[in-house]
Chain A
Amino acid sequence: MKVIVIDDSSTMRRIIKNTLNRLGFNDIIEAEHGLDALTKLDGVDLIFTDWNMPEMDGLTFVKSVRGSNSYKNIPIIMVTTEAAKEDIVEAIKSGVNNYVVKPFTPEILKSKIDSVLSTL
């Protein structure tokens, strides 16, 4: 399963990537923002994206993916510091499959992945 991790913070990309490695995901690519990610989605099976990023934020990116013929069915997990309930609702309405609030534990990330994968 090919995964893309999108976050402008190299620290967060590394933490998410390390966690995914421990969960058995080995085919992981990275992008620094939504615009960068849109050019890297070929063959991707699961997307992790931050919300607040330069160039193209996570919400705009999610809407672009859901509006695209080629990528609209790829599951998306948003990993963000935006912890307000209305933010979570907005993200889900935009097409996010699940939502992880930073800071998170590896167990939380795993449970969200399991939850998304179980619906496929």
Chain B
Amino acid sequence: MNVEYINPFINSTIKALTTMCSLKPQRGKPFLRGSVPTKSDISGTIGVAGEAMGSVTVNFPQEVALKMVENMLGLQIDEINDDVKDAVGEIANMVAGGAKGELSEKGYGFKIALPVVCVGKSHYTAYPKDVPCVVIPFILPEGEFTVEVALKINGKN
């Protein structure tokens, strides 16, 4: 997968968390997920269809998700509730939507679906075997989170 397709997701993730949550994540080095899944406590997935096909998933440990919502809404929350689920879905939306804007300028148009949010201690997302999944790690004082980009661009991996 070309870095051209990954950078827009890095940019949109940093922009979403900086603007909406007043958090400044440091990005780590992206890597191919391979056979070791990325585990999280809450994740938001957006399906993508068009010249790019697949999905984009944001994965958060509970501590990061709670901090994010605290900053977004000014609420003190102790556990993952409906507010946290909704906020994670909206962050996934902003990550995919922001990247869509950048990618469409490079000539790759696609549509994004409504977010699906999954909750569960140390769960992970399974992807089709023929779609490579690039994991982008981000670091915050509260912990690490990841964005997984599993896309085929114009039918290519």
Write the residues of chain A forming the contact surface with B, with a CB cutoff of 8 angstroms.
8-12, 14-15, 18, 52-54, 80-86, 101-105
Contact = CB atoms under 8 A, between A and B. Distances in A.
10 contacts: A10-B82, A11-B87, A11-B90, A15-B20, A52-B113, A83-B97, A101-B98, A102-B90, A103-B15, A103-B20
B104 interface: yes
A104 B72 CA distance: 12
Given A15-B20, A102-B16, A104-B19, 16 more contacts: A8-B114, A9-B86, A9-B87, A11-B83, A11-B86, A12-B90, A15-B72, A82-B97, A82-B100, A83-B102, A84-B104, A86-B104, A101-B98, A103-B18, A103-B19, A105-B19
B38 to A, nearest CB: 23
Given A84-B100, A84-B101, A11 B72 contact: yes
B79 interface: no
Most A C-beta atoms less than 10 A away, residue of B101, B104, B114: B101
A8 B20 CA distance: 17
Interface residues of B, number: 29
Interface string B69-94: 10011100000001100110110011
Interface in B8-53: 15-16, 18-20
Interface of B: 15-16, 18-20, 69, 72-74, 82-83, 86-87, 89-90, 93-94, 96-98, 100-102, 104-105, 109, 112-114
A15 B73 contact: yes
B19 A101 contact: no
Contact of B109 (A18, A81, A86): A86
A61 to B, nearest CB: 15
Contacts of A101: 97-98, 101
Contacts of B89: 9
A112 to B, nearest CB: 15
A102 B72 CA distance: 13
A102 B94 contact: yes
Contacts of B16: 102-103
Contacts of A82: 97, 100-101, 112
Contact of B94 (A54, A81, A85): A81
Contact of A83 (B19, B20, B73, B101): B101
A77 to B, nearest CB: 17
A105 B21 CA distance: 11
B109 A83 contact: no
Most B C-beta atoms less than 10 A away, residue of A11, A81, A83, A86: A81
